[in-house]
Amino acid sequence: MTIAQIEEEIVSDFELFDDWSQKYEYIIEIGQQLPALDEKFKTDVYKIKGCQSSVWLNASQKDGLLFFEADSDSVFVKGEIALLIKVLSGRTPEEIMSAELKFIDAIGLRQHVAVTRANGLANMIKQIKAYALAHKER
């Protein structure tokens, strides 16, 4: 599936919910499905700066594709990073860097979270794209 197809699938899933509180719960459920992150990655080296909650992100490259794994001490933020991983993991650095991530606004995520959470989301995206840039240059 392409990034756009995955984003369309996410938007369709969120259209099943009538209000934001149901979407919020669904984001938490998505985060609960994220595989556990090895404790060795829960250090400041992997911690995303500028997030209200603690978020750790690791990237690895295999056969020209980047794969992400992450965790957070917030169940909601864990859901946010899980959504980003669903869309961007297993892609080339070029695909990641050019991804517009339209699903974020389409599902109302940016509009329905506090400014600090929106900033944290922006920082998660920035870190993922920074990893992509670093791996592209290798």
**Residue numbers annotated as active site:** 51
The rounded distance, in Å, linking the Cα atoms of 35 and 70 is: 8
Say which DSSP state 124 is in. Answer: H
Element spanning 26, H or E? helix 20-32
Structure tokens at 102: 């339209």
The 3-state DSSP class for residue 33 equals coil
